[in-house]
Amino acid sequence: MHVTTDASAPWLVVGLGNPGPEYAMNRHNVGFMVADLLAERIGGRFKRAGRAQAQVVEGRIGPPGPGNRRVVLAKPMSFMNLSGGPVNALRDFYKVPVANVVAVHDELDIDYGVLRLKSGGGDNGHNGLKSMTKAMGADYHRVRFGIGRPPGRMQVADFVLKDFVSAERKELDYFVDRAADAVEALVIEGLERAQSTYNS
């Protein structure tokens, strides 16, 4: 589905995760990791966002000139399954169309480190997406970061709330860096061009 958006409208890039140091390196928190890297790239620091249960950084992505985009990076502080409320509050406050919202999240059905970009669709059992879709509909973009399926008989809930294992951590910085590149490409160049580069 192709959605045209107002070029002057800001983008809202939401890294999904759970707040608190005990969750920081969980597979479920890869969205926070990507948001942190994007904040570093634009030279901003996350701050509490008024009354919204979220931390935000405002800045610009892209080269100087017409390709430059206003962006609000956000990390909901409400826990994953309640992400929709804070995201929708930020969307209203910054006047962001739903088509300019990007959710960055972990994805079980994709191999570790593989990226898939898309617009709209189901939540595939992901509680953060489920909450966002309930709050504002499904027509937002997703940058899906593959974490693979749990080994053996491990429950999905246990798997996503475990830290990346040491073998995964060796490549984690590279994959997070690539996911941040994919977000920038999506915002600057649009979905189709970003997909042709990163959905490989």
Distance of alpha carbon 118 from alpha carbon 192, whole angstroms = 9
| Active-site residue (options: 28, 105, 126, 141) | 28
Residue type for position 184 = E
Find out whether 31 and 17 touch, Cβ atoms under 8 Å: yes
Active site residue 28: yes
Bridge partner list, 115: 145
Q: How far apart are CA 45 and CA 82, in angstroms?
A: 23
User: Which residues, at least 6 apart from 100, have a Cβ–Cβ distance to it below 8 Å?
Assistant: 5, 9, 10, 11, 12
Among residues 24, 14, 63, 15, the alpha carbon closest in space to that of 42 is found at 63
Give the position of tokens 């073998």. Answer: 167
| Nearest alpha-carbon partner for 182 in 83, 79, 107, 94 | 107
Residues serving a catalytic function are 28
